[in-house]
Amino acid sequence: MIRIENLVKTYGSVHALDGLSLNVEPGVVYGFLGTNGAGKTTSMRILSGLARADSGRAWILDKEIGQPGSDVRSLIGVLPEEPAFYGWMTPREYLRDFIAPLYDIHGQVAARRADELLEIVGLKDAANRRIGGFSRGMRQRMGLAQALVHRPPVLLLDEPVSALDPAGRKEVLELIETLRGQTTILLSTHILADVERVCDVIGIIAKGRLVVQDRRDDLLARYVTPLFEIESEDGFGHWLEWVKKQAFVTNVTVSNHTARVLVKDVHQAQKPLLESLVRETLSVRRFEMVHPSLEDVFLRLTGKEA
Amino acid sequence: MFRTLLAKEFREQWRTWKMVVFLAVFLITGIVSPVLAKYTPELLKMVPNLPAGLADFIPTPTVADSVVQYLKNTEQFGILLVILLTMGVMAQEKERGTAAMLLTKPVSRSAVILAKWLAGMTILLAGLLVDGLACFAYTVVLFEPIPFGAFWTLNLLLLVYLGVYLTVALMASTLARSQAIAATGAFGGLIVLIILGSLPRVSDYMPGQLANWGSSLVLKGDVTAWPALGVAAGIIALALVVACLRFEREEI
């Protein structure tokens, strides 16, 4: 559905993209994950035709981007990181009278679609207010609405929930989830919890290159290193020094009353850890074997690459 | 698609009051020009302690004074207005991010430029109509009828003349990435055209000559400026081509 091969883009001495390649299968929600400046927005801009790559190629639905007679823009809906609108227009006017006709949607069909989208993104009550007075969150919702006007098969969403409050974020993520299967979504973000929640496939980008790409569950499984979380009421005392010296332990971090013990082999480590806690008579509130979050995987991978 | 872009431009000019201000200034110019031509000499005669006999030297105003006044005022205010109206239109869209939103839609970049140009020229035409009608009516009342055909030909020449400034300002706005740079470019273009228009021999070929031609038509003179008309049309076409080519290649 979306294919990128070896994209390179430089701005002066900065390598925004340094041989980026990735492949997004039809119908998936692809989480494009990276720190600020990793190359996410540049990739989005190239895919949406706003910028040109120095080298490399990209396709959307088998149409090559930037080639004469191969305009992909009617196939995509784009939500930029900071969507901008004409402040003097109302949302209804913007969708019905401006955006819809650009996709050859006119009259009653355009009016119905505009109202339907305003309802979906929660702006129905503000349909006749000037966009100029909208908050950033409302603009982001508006941005999502304009990207969906023509029911595009591919959506490019650049940080779609970064400006939203928790309730708004939940609603938009739910909306994205409803599009799963019918629309291919490339969603760039640096908020890992959102990716973990809605994305089927995750691509991690660092310094303009794809570090890893896999299905979310496979990625977590692949990079999982079992971890124990131990919560104690009175702290850990001498036990902390003991545990750090054990050969089966690779790392120990403590925050508040919780110790996170990263081990080489969970089966080998479980028994001695439990025994040691009993031996030290610590007031253990919780002893849990957890898997690292996507955040752990992300930091590990980007840290290694950085 | 072009119709949608054009409709948005008109709606924007109307809703942001730019069109209203533009038409109002032209209307006032059209009314004031014949009034000033008619009553300035009379006002001068009413100045206290005027040296004896000087009042006899102040000529009685004629329809020619009304036309000259109209031409001078329309030229001055018109140039300023079209530059102010146009210099931000593209730079503002790029600066605010609305251009990036628009260009992810299936629209031709040249169509965006041409829609802005056509909207600007249409508003300019409307301004000249308002201006001309007001001047015509007041001149008929205060003096005598102006030769109808010649007067409207004068206004067509003014449309081309002011269209040069409008198109150069649009080009500057397209080449610039910010409104401040666009304003500098637009007024820079104005200064270049004024300097070229003041050079002997070169001035015969510059758009400013169109105003003289128009005036001559109404006042039964013998000035023509076909080369200047060709140069004006050439500048408009060239500025449009440069703006379109630049915008087609620009990364937003």
The closest alpha carbon to A253, from A242, A265, A240, belongs to: A240
Q: Are the CB atoms for A137 and A168 separated by under 8 Å?
A: yes
Q: Tell me, what's the pLDDT at A105?
A: 96
Q: Tell me, what's the pLDDT at A225?
A: 66
What average pLDDT does this structure show over B220-224? 79
On chain A, the residues whose CB falls within 8 A of the CB of B12 are 86, 88
Q: Tell me, what's the pLDDT at B130?
A: 96
Within a 10 A sphere around the Cβ of B59, how many other Cβ atoms?
A: 8
Token pair 């990739």 is found at A43
- Taking every pair of Cα atoms in chain B, the longest distance, rounded to a whole number of angstroms, is 75
In this structure, of A118-122, B47-51, B108-112, the range with the lowest mean pLDDT score is: B47-51
Give the residues across from A204 on adjacent strands. A33, A212
What average pLDDT does this structure show over B151-180? 93
Stretches where chain A sits below pLDDT 50 are: 304-306
Task: Assess whether pLDDT exceeds 60 at residue B198.
Answer: yes
User: Nearest-CA residue of chain A relative to B112?
Assistant: A102
Q: Tell me, what's the pLDDT at A305?
A: 42
Angle ∠(B153,B158,B163) on CA atoms, nearest 5: 130
Q: Tell me, what's the pLDDT at A227?
A: 84
> Looking at the predicted complex, does its ipTM rise above 0.90?
no
What average pLDDT does this structure show over B20-36? 94
Q: Are the CB atoms for A62 and A38 separated by under 8 Å?
A: no
Cβ within 8 Å, pair A101-B97 = no
Within a 10 A sphere around the Cβ of A69, how many other Cβ atoms?
A: 5
The closest alpha carbon to A155, from A183, A174, A114, A116, belongs to: A183
Angle ∠(A25,A30,A31) on CA atoms, nearest 5: 160
Q: Is residue A48 within 8 angstroms of chain B, CB to CB?
A: yes
**Which helix or strand (DSSP H or E) is residue B87 part of?**
none
**Which helix or strand (DSSP H or E) is residue A224 part of?**
none
Q: Are the CB atoms for A211 and A205 separated by under 8 Å?
A: yes
Cβ within 8 Å, pair A51-B252 = yes
Cβ within 8 Å, pair A50-B1 = no
Q: Are the CB atoms for A149 and A95 separated by under 8 Å?
A: yes
List the end-to-end C-alpha distance of chain A, in Å, as a whole number: 29
Choose among B11, B98, B106: nearest Cβ to A102.
B106
User: Nearest-CA residue of chain A relative to B16?
Assistant: A88
Order of all β-strands in the sheet with A284-290: A249-255, A258-263, A227-232, A284-290
pLDDT tens per residue across span B36-46 = 888 888 887 77
Exposure class string for A9-40: b at 16+ Cβ within 10 A, else e: beeeeebbbeebbbebeeebbbbbbbbeebbb
Q: Tell me, what's the pLDDT at A291?
A: 66
Q: Are the CB atoms for B31 and B134 separated by under 8 Å?
A: yes
Task: Assess whether pLDDT exceeds 80 at residue B30.
Answer: yes
On chain B, the residues whose CB falls within 8 A of the CB of A49 are 103-104
Q: What is the interface size between A and B, counted as CB pairs within 8 Å? A: 61
Within a 10 A sphere around the Cβ of B3, how many other Cβ atoms?
A: 9
pLDDT tens per residue across span B135-159 = 999 999 998 888 888 899 999 999 9
Q: Tell me, what's the pLDDT at A111?
A: 96
Q: Tell me, what's the pLDDT at A224?
A: 62
Q: A76 phi and psi, to 5 degrees?
A: -120, 155
What is the rounded CA–CA span in Å between residue A42 and residue B251?
11
Q: Is residue A10 within 8 angstroms of chain B, CB to CB?
A: no
Most B-contacting residue of A9, A98, A103, A130 (CB-CB within 10 A), to test interface: A98
What is the rounded CA–CA span in Å between residue A149 and residue A24?
22
Q: A305 phi and psi, to 5 degrees?
A: -80, -30
Highest mean pLDDT of the ranges B7-16, B56-65, B178-187:
B7-16
Give the residues across from A20 on adjacent strands. A7
Provide the whole-model pTM: 0.85
Interface of B with A (CB under 8 A): 1, 3-4, 7-8, 11-12, 15-16, 96-98, 100-101, 103-107, 251-252
